[in-house]
Structure 1
Amino acid sequence: METNKPDTVNEPQADYGMYSYADYLTWQFEEVVELIRGKIFKKAAAAPKRLHQKVSGELNYRLTGFLKGQKCQVYAAPFDVRFPKGSKEDHKIHDVVQPDICVICDPEKLDDRGCIGAPDLIVEILSQGNSKTELQYKFKLYESHGVREYWIIHPEHQDLLIYTLVDGKYVPSRLLTSGDVVESTVLEGFTLDLEEFFKDIE
């Protein structure tokens, strides 16, 4: 059967594209790809840098420990998050991303293929594979679908920006860096001392 696989992977130039989650399931690209508004985004062609992986692994470890025994669950990439708009049928879903880390507190959103619907918390860790366009599209995607908290971590600068959803719009924190203790509004009681966190990662 012929699949709807593009010959190349390019960043989107228009607002909406032609591809769906049904197409996405048939592709076998060497690089990791995501769909945003039906357009293909490729993530870094090479494996993420060591620092990126250290930040991801350490934060995932801390979140997993904090959430042990609770209903919220944490997942790290590769893990598909689908954002349906109306129908949950594969061919009608045009937004599929792989956040570095996400926390889902509604078990009804989890299935064998990942998460369908908005996670409660998403963490993206910046690397050379992140384009400004990708971040702009993801910001709009997460905001419009109701992701309650969105973290952007810059490992090399050792800082963190948090967007919190208030009345359907993201409100940014100030830039958080060494000396700050981060408190999540979504995961009540979870804190992150950035000086201590990044000290262990170097």
Structure 2
Amino acid sequence: MKKKTYEELIKESPVTYEMYAEMVDDGNRYEISDGVLELMSPAPTPTHQSFVYELQYKLNASCRNEYIIYSAPIDVILSDTEVRQPDLIMIHRSRMDIIEKRGINGAPDLVVEISSKHSRRRDKVQKRIAYAKYGVPEYWIIDLTNFTLEQHVLEGERYELAEVYAEDETIRSQIVACASFSMNELVWSLPVHPDLLD
């Protein structure tokens, strides 16, 4: 069977994980949102990439005995027509059966998206709805424009904004109790401070 390109697949509906997995690799990153293939925003900035690394390092230091932590790119297959690539995910070791060769087959315990001006609407609206629909217990949205962390906790079928953390406030989670850090700790750990970049 001939592999299809992005241009060919966006004309089909719904797009499934199998179609997505068989498409031509053109070097871009894609997600499937409710059966629609979406091209992800431009490549992450150096600050974004450094922040993901520092956050993963911090979480590994305190949580690796309880959780497995992955950073993008990795497919999180929430359903056959909902495939996401979060910036960072955590899966409790008691649920390792959702880790498969092709990716993560089911809802992680925690999903983290680091928002940019290109992804803000997708992260705060579309992904928040999708992660709640498929039962992700906790969702963090980190905004690098003001270095805040929004903590969304699943209540029934919807997320409630539990807290917004900034500066030296210690981030705490009932779902991921081992997590304990502040936004300033992460910012001060960056190899190049964002204010020094053009």
Q: What TM-score, normalized to structure 1?
A: 0.85
Matches within 5 A, 1:119-134: 119-133=108-122
Aligned ranges for residues 84-95 of structure 1 at < 5 Å? 84=79, 93-95=80-82
| TM superposition shift of 1:187 | 1.2
Tell me, yes or no, if structure 1 residue 113 matches structure 2 residue 102: yes
The offset of 1:157, in angstroms, is 1.0
The structural deviation recorded for 1:131 is 4.9
Q: Is the 8 A contact 1:3 1:26 kept in 2?
A: yes
Letter paired with 2:32: L
Letter in 2 for 1:104: I
- Which of 67, 83, 88 matches 2:78? 83
Q: Report whether the alignment pairs 1:2 with 2:21.
A: no
1:30 aligned to which of 27, 30, 36: 27
* Structure 2 partner of 1:49: 45
Query: Which runs of no fewer than 5 residues in structure 1 stay unpaired?
Result: 85-92
Query: Displaced runs of 4+ in structure 1, greater than 6 A?
Result: none
Partner of 2:68 in structure 1? Answer: 73
Q: Secondary structure at the match of 1:182?
A: coil
Q: 1:98 aligns with which of 51, 64, 85?
A: 85
Counterpart in the other structure of 2:129: 140
Structure 2 Cα separation of the partners of residues 83 and 151 of structure 1? 17
Amino acid at match of 1:80: D
Shift of 1:193: 1.6
User: Shift of residue 200 of structure 1?
Assistant: 2.1
Contact 1:103 1:122 in 2 (8 A): yes
Q: Unmatched 5+ residue regions in structure 2?
A: 194-198
Does structure 1 retain, via aligned residues, the 8 Å contact 2:152–2:163? no
Other structure's SS at 1:62 match: helix
SS in 2 for 1:73: strand
Query: Is the partner of 1:181 in helix, strand or coil?
Result: coil
Higher helix share: 2
Question: Aligned pair count?
Answer: 188
What is the aligned partner in structure 2 of residue 87 from structure 1? none
Residues 75 and 103 of structure 1 are in contact (CA less than 8 Å); yes or no, is this contact kept in structure 2?
yes
Identity percentage over the alignment?
A: 26
Give the alignment's Cα RMSD to 1 decimal.
Answer: 2.2
On the 8 A contact 2:123/2:141 being kept in 1, the answer is: no
